[in-house]
């Protein structure tokens, strides 16, 4: 996960126009403190560029880490990628 998050951050930094980002965590079964730090940095990077960042398909094991750390109140979550994308479209339309 660390490598994927680092690569994603690099792609966001290098993008001519920063996209909204949906992070599908369906295959993630464990998340450590370094991963949480990378997620927070990625969230800030995207937010600083005025874009939206949503996390989706979080397993119960990973969700418990978000709850224990209080990060469930920091990130925006969706049950699946399609719902996350639809939520971004709705938020974009409200802000337009």
pLDDT per position as a tens digit, 70-86: 999 999 999 999 999 99
Q: In whole numbers, what is the pLDDT of the chain averaged over residues?
A: 94
Which burial class, exposed, middle or buried, applies to 12 when counting CB atoms under 10 A from its CB (0-12, 13-18, 19+)?
middle
Percentage of the chain modeled with pLDDT above 90: 89
pLDDT in tens, 36-46: 999 999 999 99
Using alpha carbons only, how large is the chain's radius of gyration in Å? Answer: 13
């Amino acid at each position: 996960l660390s490598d994927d998050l680092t690569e994603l951050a690099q792609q966001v930094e290098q993008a001519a126009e920063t996209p909204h980002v949906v992070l599908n965590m369906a295959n993630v079964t464990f998340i450590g403190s370094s991963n949480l730090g990378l997620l927070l940095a990625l969230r800030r990077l995207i937010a600083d560029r005025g874009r939206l960042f949503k996390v989706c398909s979080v397993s119960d094991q990973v969700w418990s880490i978000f709850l224990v750390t209080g990060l469930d109140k920091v990130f925006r979550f969706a049950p699946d990628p399609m719902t996350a994308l639809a939520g971004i479209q709705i938020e974009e339309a409200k802000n337009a």
